[in-house]
Amino acid sequence: MTGQMVRWREFTDPVRFERSATDFILKAAADAIAERGAFRIVLAGGETPRSIYARVACAHADWDRWHVYFGDERCLPPDDPGRNSVMARSAWLDRVAIPTAQIHEIEAEQGPEAGAQGYAATLSDIGPFDLVLLGLGEDGHTASIFPGGRWDRMAGGNSTDDDVAIPPVVPVFDAPKPPSERISLSPGRLGDARRVLFLVAGKGKQIAVARWQAGDPIPASRIRPRGGVDVFFLDSAPR
Ligand code: 6PG
């Protein structure tokens, strides 16, 4: 079993946290565009990235080279404010000139099974992502990979080899964080990336972070890109 390499960076100032995350994203984009002519980014859900997305929206970037994907989506109607895509659109995507055809939302309104199948087809000819953004839940979940979830059991534990056997996009029916029905990229697909950046903010995350640092097999520790993951942790925010 290959372990996860983690580079930790702790912040106490929210503005520094947001600026550093924004710089990380823009640098990953510039590098990918210089090397390969395109930038494929996977967005995180939840609330933590909102202010960072708003900062990215103010940058001057080669938007027509950006291709946007989502790490997970909640099975809600397309314009429901609870959708991760709606948050990303209002904070960022609706304000910049990324061609609509290059924004690949998960059609979660179709339900977990059909939506997962559709997104697997969308990703079928996409190689490694350039950057995957992820959040961390208080129980250690990331994207919609929750502890003890259906395919967490299917994977037989915390093994990279087992993760390879899980389909790249999975339906989730029993998420403890509402809504219970979701669609998520698998640990293996999320880890098939040149860079992975976790954005973690709030006192409520301290226990999960401590467990992660202690080597507990939380879902976040199953994302194992070859180059390791970066974690930006802001522990001062009262969220
Ligand atoms: C979601 C997520 C989830 C999220 C974490 C952190 O759809 O809710 O993708 O994995 O990133 O729960 O959420 P917060 O940033 O809101 O704390």
Residues 146-203 pLDDT 10s? 998 766 655 444 445 555 578 999 999 999 999 999 999 999 999 999 999 999 998 8
The CB of 50 under 6 Å from ligand 1? The reply is: no
Residue that has been written with the tokens 């180059």 in this structure? 227
Strand, coil or helix: 188:
helix
Can you give the pLDDT at residue 148? 85
Q: What is the residue extent of each domain of the chain? A: 6-234
Partners of 7 in the beta sheet? 230
Per residue in 51-99, pLDDT tens?
Answer: 999 999 999 999 999 999 999 999 999 999 999 999 999 999 999 999 9
Exposed/middle/buried for 162, CB within 10 Å: 0-12, 13-18, 19+? middle
For residues 111-125, give the mean pLDDT: 98
CB of 26 closer than 8 Å to CB of 39: no
Main-chain phi, psi angles of 102, to 5 degrees: -100, 5
DSSP state, residue 132: E
* Residue-averaged pLDDT of the chain: 93
Centre of ligand 1 from the C-alpha of residue 138, in Å: 9
Protein residue with least CA distance to atom 11, ligand 1: 135
Centre of ligand 1 from the C-alpha of residue 49, in Å: 9
CA distances in angstroms from 216 to 117, 142, 150, 211, listed in the order given: 31, 14, 19, 5
Centre of ligand 1 from the C-alpha of residue 36, in Å: 30
CA distances in angstroms from 234 to 79, 122, 170, 173, listed in the order given: 30, 34, 30, 31
Residue that has been written with the tokens 């494929």 in this structure? 40
Protein residue with least CA distance to atom 13, ligand 1: 46
The reported pTM is: 0.94
Could you identify the atom of ligand 1 that is nearest to the CA of residue 45?
A: 9
Q: How far apart are the first and last CA of the chain?
A: 35
Strand, coil or helix: 172:
strand
Q: Which CATH number fits domain 6-234: 3.40.50.1360, 3.30.310.50, 3.40.50.300, 3.40.50.2020?
A: 3.40.50.1360
